[in-house]
Structure 1
Amino acid sequence: MVPQSAYTAFVSWVQGAKAVFLFLFAHPAAGAENRKEKKQMKLNGSQIFVEVLAEQGVDTLFGYPGGAVLNLYDELYKNSDRIHTVLTAHEQGASHAADGYARATGRTGVVLATSGPGATNLVTGIATAYMDSVPMVAFTGNVATTLLGRDSFQEAYIEGITMPITKHNYTVRRVEDLADTMRAAFRIAQQGRKGPVLVDIPKDVTAAVCEFTPKAPELIRTVTSYNEEDVKKAAEMINAAQRPVVYFGGGVRSAAGCQPLRDLLEKAGMPATYTLMAAGVLSYGEPHNLGLLGMHGCYTANKAIDEADLVIAVGTRFSDRVALNPDTFAKRAKIIQIDIDPSELGKNVAVDLSLTGDASYILQAILPYVEKTEHKLWMEQIRQWQKNDYKPVDSDTELKPHQMIAEICRQAGPEAVYVTDVGQHQMWAAQYLHHTKSRGFLTSGGLGTMGFGYGAAIGAQMALGRDARVIMLTGDGSFHMNLNEGCTAVSYGLPIITVIFNNQVLGMVRQWQTTFYGKRYSDTDPHRHTDFVKVAEGFGAKGYRATTPEEFKAAFADAMKQQGPSWIDCRIGKDEKVLPMIPGGGDINDIIME
């Protein structure tokens, strides 16, 4: 028998030899003259940066070069066969692209920017990812460690700036700490409630040399702190309910899987409603799907929550756009809340039972204890309420948002991925898109970032490939903020179709001014004369203009044939409204339907 100590030593030797072999194999160009150095794994910070990215499975990096990150970009150039870099028009666009990449795939998005203004231009994108729990790692360059804190050229204290909008952030002051700091960033971005992490790397760290040891990516631990008694109690509450409703949010999309939610709805025979961040988890037209909940949610969904005797809140935080009045939200119901983040439990609305952990695993644990039920009377009542849902009026001559979206769905098909900016078009998209994919609707929910859409669409298209169908829905107000990324879409030949709901006003704010501010339209009519068709052509994209349903149908059909990006300027009425609407602080009794 081989002694245990000898066996352990042998295994360690084999693992070490394997690591060295893998590293050398990844660097076939290494000559005999530096073979000894490679065996010792001596690398500079830029080489370590690339090695850890590859180690973590990163295949695409979005960003913009600058002085503080020249060493990093030089090394990325040498490794372009391993990691694809995408140059955007602006660092904010790069951050949104990394975000869109992550939302479309579930993988961690990566963005790189230089110091000072390059780093601060990422802030809005990082905050957007933070509010929507999107896994992203942002790398920024900085001045050399000897210049930190001296108001040096293009210096910014980005670690302090981003502290409130990241899960964690770091400034790497020693090259010896770089690899493990990067590894920790990728782990933190994905573990528990997902979110962005920032790593700031001074320029001298990218040039300094130290020993490097390859490591496999860490296994992400599943957060579960619920107990069996709570699981049984939740099932008992579900079995006892006569009017149950599941209300779920983006945490379901981020969970290990969505199927346990569908299994629960089927087994317990109960309906479900969702937040903006969870649109698409349930396919359009599913019998259990009540539609969107909250300020611009449908009447039936809001009425069902108001009349329910049990609400099972899964992966959602009772935001002020859903629980508009926390004191009256689901006032007749007991509430079970399931969330991976314990800080969200009972934070906005008092709950009767809370369970912490990945929604998928908790629902799987509950399912065996749930009785097979149909709740026929409750579902019949819901069908009656659905007769009162808001129904927009069609037109044969004017462009109507709901008809445009129906035509988009018909032509783009069930596998399309839809990306939105923020405003009226975003709400129309959430209301009328025929969602069939859990990651098929990408939008800025928590922060509500105008200008999010085009960068995110670029990230999604890059992640999914040119054969994927990505549709970007925007308003003229939002699109003006980041339409400069049109040059990025053209440069990379991305067939993104952009549909501009152009009412020539800031529609959502104007709608509020109409309803609550006596039609005092303060700075919501910008009097812009932008010709989006000419701007598209100036970038090298295909431009269309549509003023009637027939023109839009033809324009969209032609855009579907293009190999590069297309913009369709759709002229809609400035008085088109997003309905229904419940004012902030109101409830179902305050709903506006016309």
Structure 2
Amino acid sequence: MNAAQQILEIFEAHGIDTVFGYPGGCIMPLYDALVDSAGVTHVLCRHEQGCALAADGYARSSGRVGVAIATSGPGATNLITGVANAHRDSVPMVVITGQAPSALIGTDAFQEVDVLGMTLDIVKHSALVTRAEEVGPAIDEALRLAASGRPGPVWIDIPKDVLQGEVAAMAWAEPTEPGRAPGGGAALTDVAAIVDMLRRARRPLLYSGGGVSRAGAEAAFRAFAETSGLPHVHSLNGIGNAGRAHAEDLGMLGMHGSKAANQAVDACDLLLVVGARLDDRATGQLDGFAPNARLIHLDIDAAELNKRRRAELGLRGDLAPMLTALTQTLADRPLAIAAWRRRCRDWRARDGFAATRPADPRAPIGGPAFVRALSDAAPADAIVACDVGQHQMWVAQHFAFDAPRHHLSSGGLGTMGYGLPAAIGAQFAHPARTVINIAGDGSFMMNVQELATIRRHRLPVKIVVADNACLGMVRQQQELFYDNRESQIDLDDNPDFAVLASAFDIPTHCVTRIGEIDAGLRALFEAPGAALLHVAIDRADNVWPTVAPGRANRDMLHAVPAAMPAATAEA
């Protein structure tokens, strides 16, 4: 066989049955091999960025490795945003690109770019394979490496002639569950130290992030949260860790987090961080974040420990065994924090996320009220792939998720255009589940070409376009921090989304007033296949609360003040 055929053999050995790609000259040998492959389904997206983001949605929703394939030159460069998105959110992905023939590398050949040099900062590992016999081992290692430890994308670049080179048949061992970290989890002495700090604290708080689901530690986390009784806050990628409406869950913290969550962080005297990296959108001004708290930090990646905030105790390891050990140690003697729990529950009742639905059916539609109605109408196991913008924050605040893998959102990179291709990937991973793409009118237009992918494969993706005829989050920042000087945010010349969807045989329902929401949601979910709900959102609607750039989370804004200072830091 040739090296391209061997790649497909390795895919089948690893259980990779779905890949997302776009063909071209230097990757042609792999596409030729696909003609004879019975075990690998290739999904032709309509732009390479769509391929990478679909592979991200597939991986993020399933926990399996996503695979994206493209040719050299613009094929590779078009993948970069989607790969960077996966890297920032620790999503397991293998990327395979063709490269100019070996003899032409370094000559500025047609569609030649230095893929390794361009992608060093956005991959977990990368390689340019120069010999045909090295292709198989490189792909095998890439699939294992992408899923082990802290997951992430691995990029393999292969010259066209190397893909065509003959290789000997090999027996590929079935992949084993990758080890997360040397030693697996925390030592008994570490567990004892954590429990001792928890028992000595009067106001301990649990803060979890996307690392919980990346580690497959959802069950271990919930058992620990239940046994410990700790009040809990979470990051954007940690939404769903505690399940739907858990009694101790105070909601998302940070820039657009709940007042209840940020108050608890400000008041706690011990913060136990599990699988979160204390990013700037979560912490706000760092010296104002949990100012009275000692910090315990549990993470798979040693580079995250003490990166932004020094921990009293920082432990690298697999979260599931660490949390299980903590649960077992705490089981016989509960923490004595009843007063602190009552205080946090009071904050949650008073200062959690609120969304009031106007009684007047003719009232304009506000983002929070619509998202609450969508959450109530959607199946409990629905997967939501959300784009980036105001609607992203409304979903984070007001949609109730049973599990973290039900919520797909671009956290670290904030990639507009993420939601539609991610929903496609999630639908391939879960063909029997309801998958919803929630987009803004700006982000929807960024990868709108993937409607063709939905039509080709007859995917039953439910699309919601929250349309306020502008770049809403940019408009909000300009209103609050730039003296309301609007600049380049109007999108009122977008196409008619109903007409656009109809070109792809996707039925559309439009709602413009509060009283029309319920009928619109029924039309969306009762449609037998794909459907689009076009929702007119009040242009003036803002995401509340919010934190001004460079300010501490305790200084949250809850309404437009009479006057705002000029921007002094990046938004």
TMscore range, shorter length: over 0.9
Match of 2:55 in 1: 98
Name the SS for the 1:500 alignment partner. strand
Deviations 1:301-344 (A, max 9, x none): 00001100110000011100011111121111111000000000
Deviations 1:108-162 (A, max 9, x none): 0001101110111000000000000000000001111111111111111112111
Deviations 1:333-359 (A, max 9, x none): 111000000000010112110110111
Q: Is 2:372 the counterpart of 1:406? A: yes
Q: Is contact 1:390-1:593 (8 Å) kept?
A: no
Q: Is 2:517 the counterpart of 1:560? A: no
Tell me how far apart the structure 1 counterparts of residues 105 and 342 of structure 2 sit (CA, whole Å): 67
Tell me how far apart the structure 2 counterparts of residues 191 and 211 of structure 1 sit (CA, whole Å): 28
> Is the alpha carbon distance of 1:207 and 1:576 closer, same or farther for their aligned partners in structure 2, counting shifts above 3 Å?
same
1:137 is matched with which residue: 90, 94, 98? 94
- Deviates further, 357-366 or 572-581: 357-366
Match of 1:344 in 2: 304
Deviations 1:261-310 (A, max 9, x none): 22222222211110000111222211011111100000010000110011
Q: Is contact 2:198-2:335 (8 Å) kept?
A: no
Match of 2:249 in 1: 289
Tell me how far apart the structure 2 counterparts of residues 337 and 536 of structure 1 sit (CA, whole Å): 47
Tell me how far apart the structure 2 counterparts of residues 344 and 389 of structure 1 sit (CA, whole Å): 29
Name the SS for the 1:245 alignment partner. strand
Name the SS for the 2:21 alignment partner. strand
Match of 2:564 in 1: none
Name the SS for the 2:558 alignment partner. coil
Match of 2:562 in 1: none
Tell me how far apart the structure 2 counterparts of residues 388 and 161 of structure 1 sit (CA, whole Å): 45
2:126 is matched with which residue: 149, 169, 180? 169
Match of 1:37 in 2: none
2:347 is matched with which residue: 385, 389, 392? 385
Amino acid at match of 2:537: I
2:508 is matched with which residue: 543, 550, 560? 543
Name the SS for the 1:355 alignment partner. strand
Tell me how far apart the structure 2 counterparts of residues 147 and 512 of structure 1 sit (CA, whole Å): 48
Tell me how far apart the structure 1 counterparts of residues 76 and 51 of structure 2 sit (CA, whole Å): 11
> Is the alpha carbon distance of 1:114 and 1:588 closer, same or farther for their aligned partners in structure 2, counting shifts above 3 Å?
closer
2:482 is matched with which residue: 514, 517, 521? 517
Match of 1:56 in 2: 14
Q: Is contact 1:183-1:217 (8 Å) kept?
A: no
| Deviation of the 1:526 alpha carbon | 3.6
Tell me how far apart the structure 2 counterparts of residues 514 and 415 of structure 1 sit (CA, whole Å): 37
Amino acid at match of 1:574: R
Tell me how far apart the structure 2 counterparts of residues 312 and 440 of structure 1 sit (CA, whole Å): 24
Tell me how far apart the structure 2 counterparts of residues 277 and 446 of structure 1 sit (CA, whole Å): 9
Q: Is contact 1:256-1:358 (8 Å) kept?
A: no
Tell me how far apart the structure 1 counterparts of residues 182 and 296 of structure 2 sit (CA, whole Å): 16
Q: Is 2:42 the counterpart of 1:76? A: no
> Is the alpha carbon distance of 1:374 and 1:531 closer, same or farther for their aligned partners in structure 2, counting shifts above 3 Å?
farther
| Deviation of the 1:173 alpha carbon | 0.8
| Deviation of the 1:44 alpha carbon | 0.7
- Deviates further, 258-267 or 429-438: 258-267
Amino acid at match of 1:92: Q
Tell me how far apart the structure 1 counterparts of residues 60 and 433 of structure 2 sit (CA, whole Å): 15
How does 1:497-536 map onto structure 2 within 5 Å?
497-536=462-501
Q: Is contact 1:55-1:214 (8 Å) kept?
A: no
Q: Is 2:220 the counterpart of 1:264? A: no
1:394 is matched with which residue: 354, 357, 365? 357
2:4 is matched with which residue: 46, 49, 54? 46
How does 1:183-582 map onto structure 2 within 5 Å?
183-219=140-176, 220-224=178-182, 226-370=186-330, 371-373=333-335, 375-386=337-348, 387-389=350-352, 391-395=354-358, 396-397=361-362, 398-465=364-431, 467-582=432-547
The runs of 5 or more residues in structure 1 that have no matched partner are 1-42
Match of 2:566 in 1: none
| Deviation of the 1:390 alpha carbon | 5.1
| Deviation of the 1:391 alpha carbon | 2.8
| Deviation of the 1:555 alpha carbon | 2.3
Q: Is contact 1:269-1:374 (8 Å) kept?
A: no
Q: Is contact 1:299-1:389 (8 Å) kept?
A: yes
- Give me the CA root mean square deviation: 1.3
Amino acid at match of 2:2: N
Match of 2:112 in 1: 155
Match of 1:583 in 2: 548
Number of residues of Structure 1 aligned to a counterpart in Structure 2: 550
Tell me how far apart the structure 2 counterparts of residues 559 and 232 of structure 1 sit (CA, whole Å): 52
Name the SS for the 1:259 alignment partner. helix
Q: Is contact 1:101-1:107 (8 Å) kept?
A: yes
Q: Is contact 1:246-1:271 (8 Å) kept?
A: yes
Amino acid at match of 1:63: G
Name the SS for the 1:295 alignment partner. coil
Name the SS for the 1:434 alignment partner. coil
Name the SS for the 1:192 alignment partner. coil
Amino acid at match of 1:188: L
- Deviates further, 124-133 or 45-54: 45-54
Name the SS for the 1:121 alignment partner. helix
Tell me how far apart the structure 1 counterparts of residues 223 and 28 of structure 2 sit (CA, whole Å): 51
Tell me how far apart the structure 1 counterparts of residues 191 and 430 of structure 2 sit (CA, whole Å): 37
Deviations 1:88-125 (A, max 9, x none): 11010011000000001000000110111011100000
| Deviation of the 1:411 alpha carbon | 2.2
| Deviation of the 1:202 alpha carbon | 0.9
Deviations 1:472-523 (A, max 9, x none): 1110011111111111111111111111110001000111111111000011
Tell me how far apart the structure 2 counterparts of residues 170 and 300 of structure 1 sit (CA, whole Å): 47
| Deviation of the 1:389 alpha carbon | 3.7
Q: Is contact 1:224-1:356 (8 Å) kept?
A: no
Question: What TM-score does the superposition give when structure 2 sets the normalisation length?
Answer: 0.94
Tell me how far apart the structure 1 counterparts of residues 425 and 179 of structure 2 sit (CA, whole Å): 27
Q: Is contact 1:493-1:563 (8 Å) kept?
A: no
2:77 is matched with which residue: 91, 95, 120? 120
Tell me how far apart the structure 1 counterparts of residues 211 and 237 of structure 2 sit (CA, whole Å): 8
> Is the alpha carbon distance of 1:75 and 1:588 closer, same or farther for their aligned partners in structure 2, counting shifts above 3 Å?
closer
Q: Is contact 1:282-1:435 (8 Å) kept?
A: no
Tell me how far apart the structure 2 counterparts of residues 212 and 160 of structure 1 sit (CA, whole Å): 32
Question: What TM-score does the superposition give when structure 1 sets the normalisation length?
Answer: 0.91
Name the SS for the 1:58 alignment partner. coil
| Deviation of the 1:564 alpha carbon | 2.8
Deviations 1:8-53 (A, max 9, x none): xxxxxxxxxxxxxxxxxxxxxxxxxxxxxxxxxxx21121111111
Name the SS for the 1:338 alignment partner. strand
Q: Is contact 1:490-1:564 (8 Å) kept?
A: no
| Deviation of the 1:218 alpha carbon | 4.1
Tell me how far apart the structure 2 counterparts of residues 545 and 373 of structure 1 sit (CA, whole Å): 52
Tell me how far apart the structure 2 counterparts of residues 149 and 217 of structure 1 sit (CA, whole Å): 37
Tell me how far apart the structure 1 counterparts of residues 346 and 373 of structure 2 sit (CA, whole Å): 28
Match of 1:31 in 2: none
